[in-house]
């Protein structure tokens, strides 16, 4: 894996790519060797994330390499990618969509194990009634991401 760290409005983001695509996006700084990033997928990921945080990008095109995960987790991660920008689903709704209506807590675990945060938007999953719960990066980061998407969606619709 090749790593890079970028600064963002929610703090440092550590990105990793393999020979297929982006395979990790972690909040915080990973141990990376200093130097100029020459990997084109890492460069694309950096550009797209900067555009996302600037409110200029609503859909990522970065190739992904989603490692590991159980069959259920992979189904949840696929569903996360289907949640439209600026919208949310509850843990229960995601559970129902992936075929196990009683698995809301397991959806929460799968979201927590999501290896590619932000790009695979686990921040768009909320508790029943829209309650702001559960996010590996912390509720303030989740709130920031949801507010960014709500603002951009509103400006696009009414701007």
What is the DSSP-derived secondary structure letter of residue 110?
A: H
What is the rounded distance in angstroms from the CA atom of residue 28 to the CA atom of residue 100? 33
Treating both helix axes as pointing N-terminal to C-terminal, what angle do 71-82 and 104-112 enclose, rounded to 10 degrees? 80
Q: Any bridge partners for residue 116, and if so which? A: 25
Distances (CA, A) of 66 to 63, 74, 114, 142: 10, 8, 9, 21
What is the rounded distance in angstroms from the CA atom of residue 141 to the CA atom of residue 159? 25
Catalytic hit among 5, 49, 103, 122:
122
Question: Is residue 122 among the annotated active site residues?
Answer: yes
Contact 146, 115 (CB under 8 A): no
Pairing of strands 2-6, 13-17: antiparallel
Sign of CA dihedral 30, 133, 153, 101: positive
Please list the active-site residues: 122
């Amino acid at each position: 894996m090749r790593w890079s760290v970028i600064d963002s409005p929610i703090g440092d983001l550590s990105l990793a790519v393999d020979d297929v695509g982006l395979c990790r996006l972690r909040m915080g700084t990973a141990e990376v060797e200093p130097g100029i990033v020459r990997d084109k997928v890492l460069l694309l990921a950096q550009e797209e994330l900067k555009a996302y945080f600037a409110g200029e990008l609503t859909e990522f095109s970065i190739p992904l390499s989603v490692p590991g995960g159980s069959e259920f987790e992979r189904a949840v991660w696929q569903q996360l990618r289907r949640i439209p920008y600026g919208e949310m689903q509850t843990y229960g709704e995601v559970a129902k969509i992936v075929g196990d209506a009683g698995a809301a807590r397991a959806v929460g675990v799968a979201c927590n194990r999501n290896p590619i945060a932000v790009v695979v938007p686990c921040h768009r999953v909320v508790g029943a009634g829209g309650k702001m719960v559960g996010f590996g990066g912390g509720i303030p980061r989740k709130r920031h991401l949801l507010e960014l998407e709500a603002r951009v969606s509103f400006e696009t619709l009414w701007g």
